[in-house]
Chain A
């Protein structure tokens, strides 16, 4: 463009006079400008939709605000909600149910997922296709899946009860997976394990494939038994991957809401009432917005804190 301009000298003189910022616009923006122009929109969006509301929630958590009575006089309560929360039996109950849910699902998924990955790593014919099939459940919508499992868990007509009775001979209408206080916690664990074992498997598989063959060859030369190889090579070398899978599953299940909300909605009684479900009841059924904001913040800080401690441990394992 510039070369074709008839008055080249004039252009050159004009270029000398233009302020640097405009000159950059013609010659190409400076790297600094581009960097900020590229990064800023994302940061602004996150500030507007994640961080600003978070600060708003922090402010509300010190007040008696109720979303269904926006015009009621606002009272400043200080840390009252936080001290109430720590002595609220519902909150502690929710935390305990969540802890049990997280520990049992993560333990089962890790064992099963690692075992599956170990088997798939035997590199038999067609393992790629079967791996893809196994991965399908984890991509589905937890809510839609949770909703459909209520049908599979129906006491008389449900497929789950039928299969159990087919193999054990127990009358299929004699037990209710989501209606029984002892079985309901397992009913949500089963669905979660069904959905997310493939997730752990996929990460573990990457871990197993990252172990170079020559280490096993060296172990064979040294006549180390298969058992010994498994515990001194396979497990320690795959450990960072296993821990990563545990981290992701732990965070996700600590936040778990959708699948359980549709499958049991916290029932029967409050046997499957995870912290997220308690929070939903407080915030969107009882409309105690201030109180539930304080609860939300405690949950977030808990997840954030636990995740940070865990990441430190993970880094230490990686360095070894």
Chain B
């Protein structure tokens, strides 16, 4: 590294190139984070602060957005509020300082719980079905194997609205409209294609010799699958599960068309968080923040498997 042209390893980029790359990449990362940072900041603003001009970067943090997210409130005259018994909790006091009274809980929490139930339910089913099918395709001679695998993948190419029309009619006949079971089945069907393709890649990488050795030792095929293959594929199964969970968690098109109350998930609900005179942006931001945090956490957990996941196992690095 003494300045002469051939002193450094010839494929190692020059120091200047490295420094320029660092600056540009970090700059891009920071700029791309601005919208997310803004969501989190807005969730801690009061409604007037959230719509002030110029946009406030420094402000007195408030939990009003979170209180508004979880409650419904009615406006009252200050003289009426004065007649009430003194507020017992900090959020009661916060709401009353705005001349309002808490009327009850909002629907955010039930929607969030729906998202959890439907997300975990469909993930569990998709991963169980996907693991079995992937093992079948990976280890056995199946007639029309490539056609079946392509068929499984091609179900992913349909636009969600195109699938939603007949599913809407079918669910109406079967009484599955706006039920958690209906949504779990639908998301399972969508996710199972991803699960099969990803898991087949993971299982292909486990040497067959392991099972064959176990079978010579007297294990049946099923025992070998359970006691040899499944533990070996555990990381892959976990990564696949997180991908399925993220899909179900984020899904909007089916949710908005096929659910309205009972089974509605969070994404179609968030746009309807409204306050007096339009959207209550701190509450929307609070709802968005709470909804996005698990995904950010999962992304960091998954980072080594992201590439495989987004390419259906086509690129494994």
Q: Is the CB of B140 within 8 A of A35?
A: yes
- Interface code B273-317, partner A: CB below 8 Å = 1, 0 otherwise? 000000101001100100110011011100100110011001101
Contacts of A296 in B (CB 8 A): 159, 161-162, 165
> Are B132's CB and A135's CB within 8 A?
no
Whole-angstrom distance between the alpha carbons of A68 and B185 in the complex? 24
Tell me if B129 counts as interface (CB < 8 A to partner A): yes
**A residues in contact with B251, CB < 8 Å:** 141
B167 and A49: CB pair below 8 A? yes
| Docked complex: A192-232 residues within 8 A CB-CB of B | 194, 197-199, 202-203, 205-206, 209, 213, 216-217, 220
- CB-defined contacts of B162 to chain A, threshold 8 Å: 57, 279, 296-297, 299-300
Query: Does B267 contact A35, Cβ atoms closer than 8 Å?
Result: no
Using Cβ atoms and an 8 Å threshold, which residues of chain A touch B132?
37-39, 41-42
- Would A132 and B303 be within 8 Å (CB), given that A139-B246, A142-B252, A147-B270 are in contact? yes
List the one stretch of A6-14, A26-34, A76-84, A178-186 in contact with chain B: A26-34
Query: CB distance B296 to A213 under 8 Å?
Result: no
User: Does B222 have its Cβ within 8 Å of any Cβ on chain A?
Assistant: yes
Verify A300–B158 contact, CB threshold 8 A.
yes
CA separation between A194 and B28, bound complex, in Å? 10
Report chain B residues within 8 Å CB of A32: 140
B168 near A: Cβ within 8 Å? yes
Contact B166 A60 (CB under 8 A): yes
B252 contacts A141, CB within 8 Å? yes
**List of B residues within 8 angstroms of A162 by Cβ:** 53-55
Distance from A319 Cβ to chain B, minimum over Cβ atoms (Å) = 16
Tell me whether B26 and A276 are in contact (CB under 8 A): no
For B36, give its contact among A46, A136, A262 (CB under 8 Å): A136
At the interface, yes or no: B216 with Cβ under 8 Å from chain A? no
Residues A213 and B142 in contact in the complex (CB < 8 Å), given A56-B166, A299-B162: no
Partner of A137, one of B36, B51, B169, B221: B36
Partner of B311, one of A46, A137, A198, A244: A244
A307 and B303 contacting across the interface, CB-CB below 8 Å = no
Residues of B within 8 A of A289 (CB): 165, 169
Q: Are A244 and B315 in contact (CB under 8 A)?
A: yes
**What residues on B are CB-neighbors of A137 within 8 Å?**
32, 35-36
Out of B32, B196, B267, name the residue touching A144 (CB < 8 Å): B267
Choose among B17, B34, B268 the residue that contacts A143 (Cβ–Cβ < 8 A).
Answer: B268
- Segment at the interface with B among A85-93, A101-109, A115-123: A115-123
Counting chain B CB atoms within 10 Å of each CB, which of A27, A131, A145 scores highest? Answer: A145
Residues of A within 8 A of B50 (CB): 157
B140 near A31 with CB under 8 A, answer yes
Q: Are A258 and B252 in contact (CB under 8 A)?
A: yes
Asked whether, in the complex, the Cβ of B157 is within 8 Å of the Cβ of A304, the reply is yes
Report the minimum CB–CB distance from A62 to chain B (whole Å): 14
Give chain A interface residues in 293-313, CB to chain B under 8 Å: 293, 296-297, 299-300, 303-304, 307
* A114 lies within 8 A of chain B by Cβ: no
Given A120-B25, A206-B307, A34 contacting B221 (CB threshold 8 A): yes
A283-B221 contact, Cβ under 8 Å, with A41-B129, A296-B159, A303-B159: no
The DSSP consensus for interface residues of chain A is helix
The answer to whether B315 touches A203 (Cβ under 8 A) is yes
**Interface of B, helix, strand, loop or mixed by DSSP:** helix
Q: Is the CB of B136 within 8 A of A35?
A: yes
A59 to chain B: closest CB distance in Å? 9
Interface size on B, residues (CB 8 A): 103
**Proximity string of chain B (127-171) to chain A, C-beta cutoff 8 Å, 1 when within and 0 when not:** 001101101110111100000100110110111111111111110
Residues of B with C-beta under 8 A to A206: 307, 315, 317
Contact mask for chain B residues 223-262; partner A; CB cutoff 8 A; 1 contact, 0 none = 1000000000000000000000010011111001100000
A134's partner among B32, B168, B257 (CB-CB below 8 A) is B32
The reply to whether the CB of B271 lies closer than 8 angstroms to some CB of chain A is yes
Contact A134/B157 with A49-B185, A60-B166, A140-B292 known, Cβ cut-off 8 Å = no
Contacts of B169 in A (CB 8 A): 53, 56, 60, 67, 289
Among A57, A194, A303, which residue has its beta carbon within 8 angstroms of that of B165? A57
* Residues A213-272 near B (CB distance < 8 A): 213, 216-217, 220, 241, 244, 248, 251, 254-255, 257-258, 261-262
Can you give 23 contacting A-B residue pairs, CB < 8 Å?
Answer: A29-B220, A32-B140, A38-B133, A45-B192, A46-B152, A49-B167, A50-B158, A53-B170, A57-B166, A133-B29, A133-B32, A133-B33, A135-B306, A143-B268, A144-B270, A148-B285, A156-B53, A157-B53, A162-B53, A275-B159, A280-B161, A297-B162, A307-B157
A35-B139, A144-B292 known, 19 other contacts, Cβ within 8 Å? A29-B222, A38-B136, A39-B132, A53-B169, A56-B169, A57-B166, A119-B24, A130-B25, A136-B296, A142-B252, A143-B270, A148-B35, A148-B284, A162-B55, A262-B271, A275-B159, A279-B161, A279-B162, A300-B159
Chain B residues with CB under 8 Å of chain A are 10-11, 13, 17-22, 24-26, 28-29, 32-36, 38-39, 42, 50-55, 129-130, 132-133, 135-137, 139-142, 148, 151-152, 154-155, 157-170, 172, 185-186, 188-189, 192-193, 196, 220-223, 246, 249-253, 256-257, 266-268, 270-271, 279, 281, 284-285, 288, 291-292, 295-296, 298-300, 303, 306-307, 310-311, 314-315, 317
Shortest 6 CB-CB contacts between residues of A and residues of B: A28-B220, A53-B166, A296-B162, A143-B252, A38-B136, A141-B250
